[in-house]
Amino acid sequence: MSENTESSIALYRKYRPSKFGEVLGQDHIVDVLKGAIELGNVSHAYLFSGSRGTGKTSIARILAEEIGCKKEDLYEIDAASNRGIDDIRDLKESVKTLPFNSPYKVYIIDEVHMLTKEAFNALLKTLEEPPKYVVFVLATTELEKLPETVVSRCQGFVFKKPSQEILKQITLTISKKEGYEIDPASADLIALLGDGSFRDTQGILQKVISASSDKKISREEVEKITGAPSGVLVDDFISAIAKKDLEKGLNSVNKASGQNIDMKIYLKLVLRKMRAILLLRFAQEMKKDLEENFSKEDIKFLEELAKDKETNISSKILLRLLESYNDIGYSHISQLPVELALIDIIRDNSQE
C-alpha cells in the first residue's frame, strides 16, 4: 500500500461521522433510523445501497452504537473476501451465541453483492428468522446484483451522492482543522474531482495536503497535484466556442489528451464554466454565489463572455456538450465525442 493511500485512509477515518448528528447529506435515512430507534422499532435486517464513499458503513456503525451494541458484539465482514458458503455457515454458527455485553449483536456485511449464489441461499433462512438479539446490516454498491429474496427480507435505504456544495464545505472544514488555508475555488475543484464521494474527496484533499509546500493551498497546486486540467486549457476551449475558432478548440482538446487528463473531468469543468456564463447572463442575482466557487480571474473571464451578446454560447450548445459528456464512457477514443461535439457546434453556428 502506498504512502498516499495510507494517509488518505487515515484522513477519512479521522473525520468519519460517529453520531447521527454528524452525518451530512443523508437526512432521509438518518431521520427514519433515529425515529425507529426512539420508538424501539429496530429491524432485524437493513439493506444500505448506494455508490462508494457515501457513508453506508459509517451509518451502519452509528446504528449499531445507537441500539447499544458494544465493540465486542459488532462484527464487520467483507463479502468480497468472505463470499463462500463456508463463510456463511461460520456466520450462522456465530449468530447462535448470545451477545457478550450488549442487547444486540450486529453483523455488518459490506459489498454483500459479492456473495456466491450458494452463500446467499445459506444466508436467507437466517435473514428471515434471526435470533431476537441479532441485527444484520447489508451494504452494497450494486443493488441490482442482489437476489430479490434477499432484498425483500430487509428494510432498504438508498444512499444519495453528497452534493458538490456539501463536499466543498467538508473540504474547507477539514483543511482548517488540519491547519491549512484553502480558498473556496480550490475547495470547489477538489469537491468536483471527488465526484459525489466523501471518501474520494477526503482522499484527494489528503494528497494535496501531503504534497503542499506550505500551509496555503492554491488552485494551481490542486491542478498540479491532482492532474486536473489547468484553467487555461478549459478557458481556451470555451473561448474557441465563443469565437467559433475550431482549430483553437481542437488544439485545447489535444493538449488535454496529451497530458493524460480524464476527458470527463475536462468536459465537466467546461460545462461548469459555461453554465456560469449563462447564469451571469440571465440571473445576475446569482453572481454572489458564483463568486464563492470561482476565482476573481475566472469571474472576470466569465462576465466578459456573459455580457457579449454576440458570443456563441447558448443553452443549445450546453445541451450538445452534455450529450458528448455522456458518450465519453462508450468511446474507445475518449476525446472523440468532445471533438465531434466541438465540430458540430462551430460548424452549425458558422452556417447560421
In this structure, what CATH number is given to the domain that contains residue 128?
Answer: 3.40.50.300
* pLDDT score for 326: 93
Q: How far apart are CA 228 and CA 270, in angstroms?
A: 12
Residues 221 and 239 in one domain: no
| CATH code: domain of residue 216 | 1.10.8.60
- Out of 158, 181, 200, pick the residue that ends a domain: 158
The type of residue at 43 is S
Residues 171 and 151 in one domain: no
Residues 107 and 184 in one domain: no
What three-state secondary structure class fits 110? strand
CA 108 to chain centre: 22
Query: How many domains is the chain built from?
Result: 3
Residues 52 and 141 in one domain: yes
Residue 10 lies in a domain: no
Q: How far apart are CA 52 and CA 56, in angstroms?
A: 8
- Out of 113, 135, 158, pick the residue that ends a domain: 158
Check: CB of residue 83 under 8 Å from CB of residue 114.
yes
- Out of 109, 137, 158, pick the residue that ends a domain: 158
Helix (H) or strand (E) holding 297: helix 296-307
* pLDDT score for 274: 95
Q: What are phi and psi of 182, to 5 degrees?
A: -135, 135
| CATH code: domain of residue 240 | 1.20.272.10
Query: Could you tell me the CA-to-CA distances from 328 to 4, 24, 230, 250, 266 in Å, in that order?
Result: 29, 31, 20, 16, 11
Residues 95 and 43 in one domain: yes
Residue 16 lies in a domain: no
**Half-sphere exposure of 144 toward its Cβ, with a 13 Å CA cutoff?**
1
Q: Smallest Cα–Cα separation from 50: which of 111, 9, 120?
A: 111
Q: How far apart are CA 192 and CA 2, in angstroms?
A: 24
Residues ≥6 apart with Cβ < 8 Å to 264: 325, 328, 329, 334
Q: How far apart are CA 306 and CA 298, in angstroms?
A: 12
Question: Given the C-alpha cell 464521494, which residue does it identify?
Answer: 197
Check: CB of residue 193 under 8 Å from CB of residue 265.
yes
* pLDDT score for 1: 43
* pLDDT score for 58: 96
Query: Could you tell me the CA-to-CA distances from 64 to 44, 90, 160, 173, 257 in Å, in that order?
Result: 12, 21, 21, 27, 47
Check: CB of residue 117 under 8 Å from CB of residue 88.
no
Residue 13 lies in a domain: no
Residues 245 and 309 in one domain: yes
Full domain range(s) for residue 327: 231-350
Residues 121 and 203 in one domain: no
Angle subtended by helix axes 246-258 and 336-350, to nearest 10: 170
Residues 123 and 220 in one domain: no
Residues 149 and 206 in one domain: no
Render each residue's pLDDT in the chain as its tens digit; 352 residues: 444 444 445 778 899 999 999 999 999 999 999 999 999 999 999 999 999 999 999 999 999 999 999 999 999 999 988 778 888 889 989 999 999 999 999 999 999 999 989 899 889 988 988 999 999 999 999 999 999 999 999 999 999 999 999 999 999 999 999 999 998 889 999 999 998 999 999 999 999 999 888 899 988 899 989 988 989 999 999 999 999 999 999 999 999 999 999 999 999 999 999 999 999 999 989 998 898 888 889 999 999 999 987 788 889 999 999 999 999 989 999 999 999 999 999 987 655 4
Q: Smallest Cα–Cα separation from 79: which of 127, 111, 124?
A: 111
* pLDDT score for 349: 63
Q: How far apart are CA 220 and CA 114, in angstroms?
A: 41
Residues 192 and 115 in one domain: no
